[in-house]
A and B are shown apart, each in its own frame.
Chain A
């Protein structure tokens, strides 16, 4: 009897009871319908390890609805296809353009702006070029 040692610990029993839905008072009618909150990171970023961000400078893609100051999410895991908006490293800088594979069989591909004021880049088969990633989302903050 004389050997009782009192320990102090953190009580988390309350938390467990809440989880089990048997806390005091009436159970919430919503308990049966619990669903995780919508989460942009979880639902919109398909490949977290392969996702990067970029800020748009200039209006070379304005006819695609992408403007100066917009922020884009780039996914390196997505396979680029004809018509993808891609990020490529070209002439010493990152550029965002439409990927045009129309002439692939003829030995070249094109990076096409969405603005008639800008030139189309022609990339030959031997050029040191690779698509860095594919643009999957656009973020524009209004307020």
Chain B
């Protein structure tokens, strides 16, 4: 059997851990730069707050409601979700973290008739020890487990854990489940399926397999169809392949000068390198994109995306930042007001010890870089991120003299919560 643990309204739940007073209150978390709503509590959803609502519209739309608003605090979310994953690790035979708020679990070894109560206990443990609610779905494959977790979240009667273990339950669940919410069915495929009159997961599962193959000619869609019919078809390795990692931001205001853009891009690249190191992977291609504000039709528009290749795949900050800056140089055009930039690292593979060739003059250099990254990561972990950055990551001061803010300070976050789990200065005060 498979399981999935899904952290309910993840960012909001994280904010509530140190704010018990926000239980039962509408809470939203904003995107970087406090742009728009990216996470909502159930109360905010019930009020009609939509995902993606720009912050400045919140007050206009809900003048009579009190909504607790937070800037996103990924330092906090990363630490607290890490605790949840750590508990899951201690309770499951095997697991795979799929995203910041989802974790697949392989449950062979736990007795089938014990599974449901095991899941309920796991929820209780996470709720009590970390203070965050999770929903657990259990099923013979990953697609059905995802569906089960949605039921666990929606209906209190399941006690946060729903199991689809019989054909009867499977069919009942599929009939109630919209096709566009099925894991693996993107928006594009959902539209195509709906054009064929398919509304629920059940409608899809009862079509003939030949029809699915003929109409879509896509192995992943066929696998989804198989899983809806109870087979275990999505290979586990498929999950682990994070083919690319992206770090991008909309700027607080607009930017036209190259140096400031380069500093931003250097920071995104450094963040990508850090993400690669966290998951023990390396990248071979670095892509950079840049665009102006499409909503400002009065301004000249420009966007571009290009890639650069690394000779040796790496997860080191310095070569990745260097490659990203090289690409930026190629796509930058003066005279435009830029609104957003991003770095995408691609060709991601496992970080295996490279057989170093005697004639590769880079080999020794690479080993040195690796050690440098380890030291920097450790210092930044202990003292707060961005205690040490490379020169390219530093912003020039407003008066043009010397270097000033690092990345975190350059983002607008007026409503950021403290970091009681990662900074001694922020731990809770007890009266």
A interface residues (Cβ-Cβ under 8 A, vs B):
6-10, 47-50, 52-58, 60, 71-72, 76-77, 87, 89, 92-96, 128, 130, 132
Contact = CB atoms under 8 A, between A and B. Distances in A.
Contacts of A54: 427-430
A66 to B, nearest CB: 9
B427 A7 contact: no
A95 B128 contact: no
A131 to B, nearest CB: 10
A49 B420 contact: no
B393 to A, nearest CB: 30
A48 B430 contact: no
Contacts of A50: 83, 128-130
A130 B427 contact: no
Contacts of A77: 128-129
Interface in B363-408: 363, 367
Interface of B: 20-21, 23, 83-84, 86-87, 128-131, 355-358, 363, 367, 420-421, 424, 427-431
Most chain A CB within a 10 A radius of its CB, from B83, B130, B420, B429: B429
A9 B86 CA distance: 35
Given A10-B367, A89-B21, A55 B429 contact: yes
Given A8-B363, A93-B431, A52 B358 contact: no
Contacts of A89: 20-21
Contact of A47 (B129, B427, B429): B129
Give 7 nearest A-B pairs by CB, closest first.
A50-B129, A89-B20, A96-B430, A49-B83, A53-B427, A54-B430, A54-B428
B356 A92 contact: no
Contacts of A71: 427
A119 to B, nearest CB: 12
Contacts of B357: 7-8
Given A7-B358, A52-B421, A130-B20, A87 B430 contact: yes
B20 A57 contact: no
Interface of B is mostly: mixed
A128 B22 CA distance: 11
A49 B85 CA distance: 9
A92 B420 CA distance: 17
A130 B87 CA distance: 22
Contacts of B430: 54-57, 72, 87, 94-96
B421 A76 contact: no
Contacts of A53: 420, 424, 427-428
Given A52-B420, A76-B128, A57 B358 contact: no
A83 B163 CA distance: 40
Given A53-B427, A55-B427, A56-B430, 15 more contacts: A7-B357, A8-B363, A9-B356, A48-B86, A49-B86, A49-B87, A50-B130, A52-B427, A57-B429, A71-B427, A89-B20, A93-B429, A94-B429, A96-B430, A128-B23
Contacts of A130: 20
A76 B21 contact: no
Nearest to A66: B430
Contact of A95 (B84, B86, B363, B431): B431
A74 to B, nearest CB: 8
B87 A76 contact: no
A49 B427 CA distance: 16
Nearest to B356: A8
Contacts of A49: 83-84, 86-87, 129-130
